[in-house]
Structure 1
Amino acid sequence: MTKPILALAVAALLSTTATAHDAGDKDAKVTLVYEHELPDVPGKSMKGVLVEYGPGGFSSAHTHPNSAFIYATVLEGAIRSQVNDGPITVYKAGESFSEIPGDRHGVSENASDTQPARLLAVFVVDTNEKELTFPIKK
C-alpha cells in the first residue's frame, strides 16, 4: 500500500464514528473506513475496516468472501489470532498478518482483559461484495 493511501485510511479511521457492527459489550466494533475501486484491476476494490476490541473483546469465528485477500495491521494493543489450523499468535501494535481467499479466522480477540486493542484490515475484494464477514456456524 502506498503511503498516501495508508495516510488516507488512517485519517478516515481516526475521524469516523459510523458502526457496522456493535452487538454486545464484548463484540468487536467493526467500521468500514475506506473504499476505493482499483483503476487497473476492473471489478476489484480496496476496503479498509477498523476493528476495535474493548478489554476482553473478540470477534466470533468467521470467514470472508472467496475473493478477499486481507492484510491486517495492529494499531493499538495486542490481538490474539488464529487463521485456519495454524498456531494462535499474538500480534502487537505495528505487527501485521494476512488472510488469503478461503481462510477461516477461528480466533480474533483482544489479548488483554484491561486495555483496548485496534486493527486495520485492508481487503482487496470483488467490488460487488457488500458483506465482508460471515460467521462460522458451529
Structure 2
Amino acid sequence: MEMIKKRFFLGLGLMLACIALSMAHEPVEKVKPNFEHVIPNIPGKSLIALEVDYPPGGASIPHNHAKSSFIYAYVVEGSIESKVNNEKSKIYQAGQSWFEEPGAVHSISRNVSKTKPAKLLAVFVVDTDDKELVTPVK
C-alpha cells in the first residue's frame, strides 16, 4: 500500500509541475486525492478518485491518462467544457458526467465560467503498477 501511495503522489507531483510550467499565465486547476484502493476481486487493478478544482477561467493542459485507465468524470460544481479524442467539445453542468476510454486524449478540460469556480471528481480504474496517471500531450 505504501508503494501505491508513493507512486500516486509522484505522478500527481509531476502532473502538477507540468501544468504549472505550461500555464504560467493562466489560472491552473488544483488536484487533490480523494480515494485510492486496490480492487480485491480484480487482480492488478486499483480504484483512484481525484478532486479537480478549477478557479474561474481555469483549465488543464491537453493530456492523456495512463494507458490502462478507464475514467468516470462527474461535475460536482459549476460547468466544465470537455473534449475527448475526436468527439465534439461538450459543456457539462453540475450533476452530469462522462467517461474516457483507455488511451484517450483529453484535449480540452476547463471551467466555462470566468467568475465562478468549478469542481470535477475523476474516478480511475487503472493498473495498480501504472506510475503516471496524467501525461501532457506534446
Q: State if a TM-score over 0.5 links the two structures.
A: yes
Name the CA distance, whole Å, in 1 between partners of 2:68 and 2:56.
32
Name the CA distance, whole Å, in 1 between partners of 2:128 and 2:33.
14
Unaligned runs of 5+ residues in structure 1 are 1-18
- Deviation readout 1:28-47 (Å, 9 max, x if unpaired): 11112210000100100000
Q: How does 1:1-138 map to 2 (within 5 A)?
A: 20=13, 21=16, 23=20, 26-137=27-138
SS of the aligned residue for 1:134 comes to strand
Unaligned runs of 5+ residues in structure 2 are 1-11
The Cα shift of 1:66 comes to 0.7
SS of the aligned residue for 2:92 comes to strand
Amino acid of the residue matched to residue 78 of structure 2?
G
The Cα shift of 1:102 comes to 1.2
Name the CA distance, whole Å, in 2 between partners of 1:122 and 1:71.
5
Name the CA distance, whole Å, in 1 between partners of 2:49 and 2:120.
10
Moved over 2 A (4+): 19-25
Amino acid of the residue matched to residue 128 of structure 1?
D
Counterpart of 1:6? none
Name the CA distance, whole Å, in 2 between partners of 1:124 and 1:32.
14
When the two structures are aligned, how many residues end up with a matched partner? 119
Name the CA distance, whole Å, in 2 between partners of 1:65 and 1:109.
20
Q: TM-score, normalised by structure 1?
A: 0.82
Aligned-pair identity (%): 49
Name the CA distance, whole Å, in 2 between partners of 1:32 and 1:102.
22
- More RCO (CA 8 Å, sep 6+): 2
The Cα shift of 1:27 comes to 1.3
The Cα shift of 1:65 comes to 0.7
The Cα shift of 1:130 comes to 2.8
Calculate the aligned-residue CA RMSD, in Å. 1.4
